[in-house]
Chains A and B, each alone.
Chain A
Amino acid sequence: MSGTFVGMPAFPAFPRAAHDAVHNPVLRANLRHATHTIRARRAGAVAELSDWAELREAGRRIKDHTLRHLDRYLLQLEESVTAAGGTVHWAVDADDANRIVTELVRATGESEVVKVKSMATQEIGLNEALAREGIRAYETDLAELIVQLGEDRPSHILVPAIHRNRGEIRDIFRSEMGKWGRPAPAGLTDTPAELAEAARLHLREKFLRARVGVSGANFMVAETGTLIVVESEGNGRMCLTLPETLISVVGIEKVVPTWRDLEVFLQTLPRSSTAERMNPYTSMWTGTTDGDGPRTFHLVLLDNGRTDTLADEVGRQALRCIRCSACLNVCPVYERAGGHAYGSVYPGPIGAVLSPQLRGTGSEIDASLPFASSLCGACYEVCPVAIDIPEVLVHLRERVVEGGPAVRQGNKVVLRPAKGHAAERAAMRAARWAFTHPGALRAGRRLASRTRRLHPRTLPGPGRAWSGTRDLPAVPPESFRDWWQRTDGGKDGAK
C-alpha cells in the first residue's frame, strides 16, 4: 500500500524537519501573520453564537453516533446515492482509489480533469497517480494552484500555501503559469486582488472546456444521498456543475445520518475555519439532475486506514474531524514549525493524531508525530467537534514507546516498542522503583539537595538530547517532606 506523497523521499522525524523551519525567518513571519490574523477573527465569529457549546456537543454526538454505526450508514448512503442516479465504488486503500479513478477517467476518453480542493485526493496522491497514466489534473483552488505551480507541498489543511506570502505567490505566478496554460498578466503586482484576478483568468479556459471534474466532499447525508462541498472561490461550483462527469473521492467518516444534521455543521464549520458566518459558496447535490450539472456521478468511498483508526477506542475520535483547521491556527508548535515538518497532508495537532493512525507508526516521521506537541490543549478548546487531541496524543505516545495491540490494514497486530525510547523507558522504570521504596527515595532526595551546587546545567550522555531543549529543574536545599516534618506543616509561621 502506498502512503501519502507518492514518489517523495521518506520524511525525516518531526524534530529534524522542524529544526530547519524554525530557523527560516520568512516562514516564521508568514505563519505568524496568517495564524494570528485568523485567531482573533475566529474567536469573534464563534462569540456571535450564544449556543456554541451546545452546537459543539451536538456535532460531537452526531459524529460519534455515526462512527459507532458506520456500516449501517454507509450502506444507507450507498442505497440513496444509487437511487439518485449515482454509482458508488469502495476503495480499500490509496492504490485502490487511484486505480478506480484512473479507470473512470479513461472511460470518458479524456486526458485532463479539473479538481476541487480535496484532502482525500491529496492523501492518496491522486494527481501523481493520474500523471503516471498520462492524465493531467488541474488544481483550481487558489492555494492548491500556488502549491501545484510551485511544485511545492501543502502546509495547511484549509490554505495549503499558507507558508507563502504575497510576494512569493506573485513570483510563482509570473514564472510558472505560462507552463500550464494562460500566463500571468504582464505587470502583475502582489496585491491580493490582482493575484486573485490572475488565477481567475488562468483557470477560466480550463473550467469552460472541462469534461471531467474530481472533488471530495465535506459531508455526505446517508438518508438523502446528498453530498456537500463548502468553498469560497467558486472553483468548486465550476468543477461540480460544468463537467459531464463528476468523480467524488470521500473518506468513509464523512457520512452523517440525516439532512437535519447539516444544521449543526453548516454553523460550526465556516466559523471555525475561515471565521465567517457563512462561506461564500456551498454546493449540495444528490445524484444527478436532468439538464443541470454532470450527467454521470461516481462516488468513491475511501478507507485508507480509517477502519484501522476506528478500531482504536481512544484514537477513533480523530475521525470526527471536519477539517476546519482551527487547531492548526491556534497551535504554538504549528505556528513555529510550519506544516511541512509534519510530513503529511494533515499537519498541525489533528495531523499529529491522524497521520500516525491512518498510516501506522512504522515510519520515523509517524512515530515522532505524537510527540510534536506541548500538550497545551488549545487545539481541544477550539475543536468544533470536541476532539480531545491531547488525550489521543498521550495515548499514541504510549503506543509508540510501549508498543501493544493495534489494527493495521484490517489485521490485528502487536506493535513492538519503538527504538530510541530506551532511556525514557529506563528512567520510568527507575522512577517506579524509587516511588515504591520510600527509604531509597528519601536518601536520594537528601543526596540531591546536598550536592545541588555541583549539578550540571545539562545532562551528560543519553540525557543530553533531552536537556538540549529544556532547563533542568533546580533542586531546592530542602525537600517538601523534610520541611513539613521539621516545621510540623509550617505551624507558628516557622520557615
Chain B
Amino acid sequence: MSGRERILGRVRRALADVTPAEGPYERAVARDYAREHGERTAEETVRLLAENLADYRAIVHRCDAEELPLLVMRLLAARGSGEVLVPPGLPPEWLAAADPVRIHDRAESTPHRLDRVGSVVTGCAVAVAETGTIVLDGSPDQGRRRISLIPDHHICVVRVPAQVVSSVPQALERLDPARPLTWISGPSATSDIELDRVEGVHGPRTLEVILLGRPPSP
C-alpha cells in the first residue's frame, strides 16, 4: 500500500466520530472579527502606514510624481551605490535623474552577479497600514523575488492612497495567490539573540519606502 493510501486510511479511521451531519465550512467557521481596526480617512490610513513602517525601522519618504525622480536620485547618491537593479517594467521616469548604472534583471543574471549590485528600486502590489507591510507580487514593476532580496538597499515606491489598505484581510482580498508573494515589514531582522529584535541579517538592511502622492490640500 502506498504512503498516500496508508495516511488517508489512518485519517479516516481516526475520524470515525465525525458524522456527515456536521456543518459545512461556511457554517463551522465564525468570522466575528473585524475587517479593519478603527475608522480612518484615506489620508489617515496613509499616515498610519508611514508610522508603522517607521516603527520597524523602514525609512519613509513622501513626494509627488514630479518630485520622485529627484528624490530617487538623492537616495541612491546618498547610498553611494554604483549600480541599481531595475525590474523590467519599472516606469523609466522614476530613474530619469538617477546616476548609477541601471542593471536590468535578466533570467541569466546569477545570484553572484546580483550580489554585486548595491541598490534596487521596485514598485509594490499593495501596502497594509495596520501592520506597516508592503507586499510584492512579481508584477513587471517589481520583478523576480530575488532582486528585492540580494541587494542591501531596497527602495520601494507605494502609490498612495490607491495601493494602501488598512488591514491584513483587505490585503489578501487584493492579492492573487497564484503569483509568488513577498510580504515585507521593515528591513530584515532577527529575534534570535535573547528574544530581542535586531535589524539586519540576510535581506536588505536598509528599506526605504517612498509614498508617491501628496496629501489632498485642505
Binding site for B on A (CB under 8 A): 30, 33-35, 37-38, 48-51, 54-55, 57-58, 61-62, 64-65, 68-71, 74-75, 84, 89-92, 96, 140-143, 146, 158-159, 161-162, 165-166, 169, 192-193, 195-197, 199-200, 203-204, 207-209, 221, 224, 226, 232-235, 237-238, 240-242, 252, 257-264, 266-267, 274, 276-286, 289, 291-293, 301, 303, 307-308, 310-311, 313, 316, 329, 407, 410
Query: Is B197 within 8 A of A264, CB to CB?
Result: no
Contact of A286 with B177 in the complex, beta carbons under 8 Å: yes
Looking at the complex, which one of B11, B30, B133 makes contact with A71 (CB distance below 8 Å)?
Answer: B11
Chain B interface bracket (under 10, 10 to 19, 20 to 34, 35 or more): 35 or more
Given A278-B131, A293-B145, the answer on whether A407 and B14 have CB atoms closer than 8 Å is yes
Partner pick for B111 among A49, A197, A207, A258, CB 8 A cutoff:
A207
Q: Which residues of B contact A75 (CB under 8 A)?
A: 8
Query: Is residue B15 contacting chain A, with contact meaning CB distance below 8 A?
Result: yes
Taking a contact as CB atoms under 8 Å apart, the answer to whether A233 and B190 are in contact is yes
Q: Please tell me if the beta carbons of B194 and A34 are within 8 angstroms of each other in the complex.
A: yes
Binds A, one of B17-25, B60-68, B73-81, B94-102: B17-25
**Contacts A233-B189, A286-B179, A311-B14 given; 17 further ones with Cβ under 8 A?**
A51-B37, A69-B18, A74-B11, A90-B3, A92-B7, A204-B202, A208-B111, A232-B192, A235-B202, A241-B145, A262-B172, A276-B197, A278-B185, A280-B189, A289-B179, A292-B144, A307-B11
Per a CB cutoff under 8 Å, which of A57, A197, A307 touches B32? A57
Our pick among B8, B29, B183, B197 for the contact of A278 (Cβ within 8 Å) is: B183
- Whether the pair A267, B14 counts as a contact (CB closer than 8 A) is no
CB-CB nearest in chain A for B198: A192
Min Cβ gap B11→A in Å is 5
**How far, in angstroms, from A192 to B189 measured CA to CA in the complex?**
11
The smallest C-beta distance from B16 to any residue of chain A, in angstroms, reads 8
- Min CB distance B119 to A, Å, is 16
The residue that B192 contacts in the complex, of A33, A54, A142, with Cβ under 8 A, is: A142
* A252/B111 in contact, CB under 8 A: no
- B78 → A minimal CB distance (Å): 21
* Contacts A234-B149, A277-B52 given; does A196 touch B11 at CB 8 Å: no
Alpha-carbon distance A38/B131, docked complex (angstroms): 19
Closest 3 CB pairs of A and B: A234-B203, A234-B202, A307-B10
The one of A58, A260, A281 that contacts B172, using a Cβ cutoff of 8 Å: A260
**Residue on B nearest A241 in the bound complex, by CB:** B145
Contact B196 A192 (CB under 8 A): yes
Q: Is the CB of B15 within 8 A of A70?
A: yes
A221-B195 Cα distance, complex, nearest whole Å:
30
User: Do B115 and A208 have beta carbons less than 8 Å apart?
Assistant: yes
A203 surroundings in chain B (CB, below 8 A)? 202
Q: What B residues does A142 contact at CB under 8 A?
A: 190, 192-193, 201
Whether the pair B200, A200 counts as a contact (CB closer than 8 A) is yes
A199 to B185 alpha-carbon distance, docked (Å): 21
Q: A311 to chain B: which residues have CB within 8 Å?
A: 10, 13-14
Selected A-B contacts with CB under 8 Å, 29 pairs: A38-B191, A51-B33, A55-B33, A64-B28, A70-B11, A90-B4, A90-B7, A161-B192, A195-B193, A200-B200, A208-B111, A209-B111, A233-B192, A234-B188, A241-B144, A252-B11, A257-B25, A260-B172, A263-B172, A267-B168, A274-B197, A278-B128, A280-B185, A282-B182, A282-B183, A285-B181, A291-B144, A292-B146, A293-B144
A74 touches B17 (CB 8 A): no
Nearest-neighbour CB distance to chain A for B168, whole angstroms, equals: 5
Q: Are B187 and A280 in contact (CB under 8 A)?
A: yes
Query: Does A33 lie within 8 Å of B194, measured CB to CB?
Result: yes
A284 to B184, CA, bound (A): 12
Contact of B195 among A35, A240, A261 (CB under 8 A): A35
Decide if B9 is an interface residue (CB 8 Å cutoff): yes
Give the docked Cα–Cα distance between A279 and B206 (Å): 16
Cβ of B8 and Cβ of A65 under 8 Å apart? no
A114–chain B nearest beta-carbon distance, Å: 11
- Expressed in whole angstroms, the Cα–Cα distance for A120 and B42 within the complex equals 43
Q: Which residue of A lies closest to B191 (CB)?
A: A274
Contacts A68-B22, A307-B11; A233 near B203 (Cβ below 8 A): yes
Considering residues A75, A221, A238, which has the most beta carbons from chain B within 10 angstroms of its beta carbon? Answer: A238
B143 to chain A, nearest CB (A): 8
Q: Is the CB of A235 within 8 A of B201?
A: yes
The reply to whether A233 and B202 form a contact with Cβ atoms under 8 Å apart is yes
In the assembled complex, the CB of A193 is this many whole angstroms from the nearest CB of chain B, namely: 6
Q: Nearest Cβ in chain A — how far from B130, in angstroms?
A: 7
Check B89 for interface membership: any CB of A closer than 8 A.
no
B180 contacts A58, C-beta separation under 8 Å: no
Contacts of A316 in B (CB 8 A): 14
Interface centre among B7, B15, B28, B169 (most CB of A within 10 A): B7
Compute how far the CA of A74 lies from the CA of B149 in the bound complex, rounded to whole angstroms. 32
Which residues from B are CB-within-8-Å of A193? Answer: 198-200
Find chain B residues with CB under 8 A from A54 CB: 30, 32-34
A434 to B3 alpha-carbon distance, docked (Å): 53
Complex CA gap A373/B196 in Å reads: 27
* Complex Cα spacing A192 to B7, Å: 44
Residues of B close to A237: CB separation below 8 A: 145, 149, 182, 202-203
- Contact check, A221 vs B177: say whether CB atoms are below 8 A apart: yes
Contact partners of B169 in chain A: CB under 8 A: 260, 263
Q: Are A279 and B11 in contact (CB under 8 A)?
A: no
In the complex, the answer to whether B192 meets A65 with C-beta atoms within 8 Å is no
Whether B3 contacts A292 by the Cβ 8 Å rule is: no
Check B178 against A224 for contact (C-beta < 8 Å). yes
How far apart are A336's CB and chain B's nearest CB, in angstroms?
17
Least Cβ–Cβ distance between A19 and chain B, in angstroms:
25
B201 lies within 8 A of A233 (CB): yes
Chain B 198-214 per-residue mask, 1 if CB under 8 angstroms from chain A, else 0: 11111110000000000
Residues of chain A within 8 A (CB-CB) of B14 are 307-308, 310-311, 316, 407
* A196 CA / B14 CA spacing, docked (Å): 45
Of the candidates A58, A89, A252, A281, which one forms a contact with B182 in the assembled complex, judged by CB atoms under 8 Å apart? A281
**Complex Cα distance A267/B133, Å?**
12
Complex CA distance for A195 and B196, rounded to whole angstroms = 13
A124 → chain B closest CB, angstroms:
14
